[in-house]
């Protein structure tokens, strides 16, 4: 039984950028904690088809940081595991699989626009949601897999036990399941409540993952803490008792225990800090607006959909959002309908303040926009607390 600890109000589809103002679908975004498994999940899941379809706009290759991250990850996995067969679940635009040979790599991607792309690029891609029926079909067609990789996808799947069981079914005897998703510990530590939106059905702790994987006979043998996406965990799992357990597993579990991730009270305190973050953000944006400043948002992220809708931030405060993704440009942001334009079109000398919607790429963005800061521009972030950034 999940116990609710945070309510972020009525929210739209986080990546549902709109061509025109129209009636949108809204749902209640609230989050709960399961005392038994320690899993943090949305109280109400949104149907997968509403979020992931042939007009999905998030391209993982849009940042240099992520391209580099996946190239390095692929290189290291090849070196350490030397897999004969590789499968990725949630391959998006192919940013990870393109580092592997087309001969022994397959992919699963429910967004047909991306599935078509990777198929055309020569990687056999199943355009389906990940479940047990698909796993059986793949075993029949392609055999069991030595490496099953998934980045920022497992946490999107409401029926997570079914998803893990499906991986187990198709993992070869000595196979390794490697998956990475945002870390619950980092979200709590950094106050990054905007990690919560429709697509993130769960925010994983290592503690909860260990409980869930154990239930179905998979075992975590290594954990890597990553900087990407605001702090993520990369989990290495295998069939139970098949590998030596690395000390990183105990380290992560202990760290989470001492931060109280197994206690409901921790989440109630987090919910209080979220309200405070909202008040402070509205205060600082209103202050700059009252000074006649032009404020934009940098990065039309899923995360900023949560913030803008929760805080009630509209075009009254933020003139527009700049984003490099062509399929988001010329559209309106979900719910609050702030226009999205390209940085070339909108990030010019007229901008005084830029809210970092893509705060997880702070380093890459500040480096790219040095001139904006040198010319007196100001970045604003809410992570780990409301802060003005005046220098690189």
Listed ranges 19-27, 55-63, 330-338, 346-354: which one lies at the site for ligand DWN (CB under 6 A): 55-63
Residue ranges in 57-86 that form contacts with ligand DWN under rule CB under 6 A: 58, 62-63
Q: Residue 107: which residues within 8 A CB-CB, separation 6 or more?
A: 87, 88, 89, 91, 94, 97, 115, 118, 123, 124, 125, 126
Site membership for ligand DWN, residue 351 (CB under 6 A): no
Site membership for ligand DWN, residue 302 (CB under 6 A): yes
How far lies 183's CA from each of 1, 89, 188, 232, 380, in Å? 22, 19, 9, 5, 23
List of long-range contacts for 338-344, beta carbons under 8 Å, 24+ apart: 338/297, 338/308, 338/313, 338/314, 339/315, 340/17, 340/300
Site membership for ligand DWN, residue 184 (CB under 6 A): no
Site membership for ligand DWN, residue 299 (CB under 6 A): yes
Closest approach, Cβ 101 to ligand DWN, in A, equals 25
Site membership for ligand DWN, residue 176 (CB under 6 A): no
Nearer residue to ligand DWN within complex by CB, 221 or 320: 320
Closest approach, Cβ 254 to ligand DWN, in A, equals 27
Site membership for ligand DWN, residue 324 (CB under 6 A): yes
**Tokens read off for 77:** 């996995």
Site membership for ligand DWN, residue 368 (CB under 6 A): yes
Tell which one of 39, 358, 383, 386 touches ligand DWN (CB under 6 A). 358
**Tokens read off for 208:** 């909860």
Site membership for ligand DWN, residue 152 (CB under 6 A): yes
Closest approach, Cβ 296 to ligand DWN, in A, equals 11
Q: Are 183 and 204 in contact (CB under 8 A)?
A: yes
Widest Cα–Cα separation across the chain: 65
Tell which one of 301, 309, 329, 337 touches ligand DWN (CB under 6 A). 301
Listed ranges 35-43, 70-78, 138-146, 353-361: which one lies at the site for ligand DWN (CB under 6 A): 353-361
Applying CB under 6 A, the site for ligand DWN has a residue count of 21
Nearer residue to ligand DWN within complex by CB, 218 or 365: 365
Handedness of CA 27, 29, 35, 38 (dihedral sign): positive
Closest approach, Cβ 23 to ligand DWN, in A, equals 23
Listed ranges 80-88, 280-288, 298-306, 348-356: which one lies at the site for ligand DWN (CB under 6 A): 298-306
Closest approach, Cβ 275 to ligand DWN, in A, equals 22
Site membership for ligand DWN, residue 232 (CB under 6 A): no
Site membership for ligand DWN, residue 17 (CB under 6 A): no
Nearer residue to ligand DWN within complex by CB, 229 or 331: 229
Closest approach, Cβ 340 to ligand DWN, in A, equals 9
Q: What angle do CA 151, 164, 248 make, to 5 degrees?
A: 65
Closest approach, Cβ 303 to ligand DWN, in A, equals 4
Site membership for ligand DWN, residue 41 (CB under 6 A): no
CA-nearest of 236, 84, 80 to 150 is 236
**Tokens read off for 370:** 């040095």
Closest approach, Cβ 174 to ligand DWN, in A, equals 29
Q: What's the half-sphere exposure (Cβ side, CA atoms, 13 Å) at 360?
A: 26
Q: What angle do CA 31, 168, 102 make, to 5 degrees?
A: 100
Residue carrying the six token digits 């303040």: 353
Would you tell me how many other CB atoms lie within 10 Å of the CB of residue 86? 24
Site membership for ligand DWN, residue 128 (CB under 6 A): no
Q: Which residues bind ligand DWN (CB under 6 A)?
A: 58, 62-63, 152, 199, 229, 299-303, 323-325, 328, 358, 360-361, 364-365, 368
């Amino acid at each position: 039984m999940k116990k609710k600890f945070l309510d972020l109000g009525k929210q739209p589809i986080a990546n549902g950028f709109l061509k025109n103002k129209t009636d949108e679908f809204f749902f209640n975004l609230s989050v709960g904690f399961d005392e038994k498994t320690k899993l943090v999940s949305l109280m109400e899941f949104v149907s997968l088809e509403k979020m992931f379809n042939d007009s999905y706009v998030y391209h993982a290759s849009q940042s240099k940081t992520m391209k580099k991250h996946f190239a390095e990850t692929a290189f290291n996995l090849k070196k350490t595991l030397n897999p004969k067969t590789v499968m990725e679940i949630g391959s998006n635009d192919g940013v990870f699989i393109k580092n592997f040979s087309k001969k022994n790599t397959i992919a699963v991607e429910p967004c047909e626009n991306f599935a078509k792309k990777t198929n055309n690029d020569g990687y056999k891609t199943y355009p389906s949601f990940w479940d047990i029926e698909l796993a059986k079909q793949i075993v029949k067609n392609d055999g069991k897999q030595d490496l099953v990789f998934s980045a920022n996808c497992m946490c999107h799947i409401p029926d997570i036990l079914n998803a893990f069981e499906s991986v187990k079914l198709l993992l070869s005897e000595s196979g390794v399941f490697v998956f990475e998703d945002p870390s619950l510990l980092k979200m709590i530590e950094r106050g990054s409540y905007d990690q919560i939106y429709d697509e993130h059905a769960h925010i994983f702790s290592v503690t909860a993952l260990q409980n869930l994987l154990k239930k179905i006979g998979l075992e975590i043998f290594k954990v890597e803490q990553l900087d990407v996406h605001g702090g993520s965990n990369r989990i290495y799992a295998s069939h139970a008792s098949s590998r030596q357990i690395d000390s990183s597993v105990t380290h992560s579990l202990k760290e989470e225990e001492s931060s109280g991730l197994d206690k409901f009270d921790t989440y109630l305190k987090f919910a209080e800090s979220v309200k405070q973050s909202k008040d402070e953000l509205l205060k600082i944006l209103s202050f700059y607006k009252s000074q006649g400043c032009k404020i934009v948002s940098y990065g039309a992220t899923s995360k900023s959909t949560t913030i803008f809708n929760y805080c009630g931030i509209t075009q009254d405060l933020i003139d527009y959002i700049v984003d490099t993704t062509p399929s988001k440009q010329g559209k309106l942001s979900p719910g609050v309908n702030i226009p999205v334009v390209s940085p070339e079109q909108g990030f010019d000398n007229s901008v005084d303040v830029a809210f970092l919607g893509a705060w997880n790429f702070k380093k890459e963005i500040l480096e790219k926009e040095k001139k904006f800061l040198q010319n007196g521009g100001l970045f604003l972030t809410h992570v780990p607390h409301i802060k003005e950034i005046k220098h690189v």
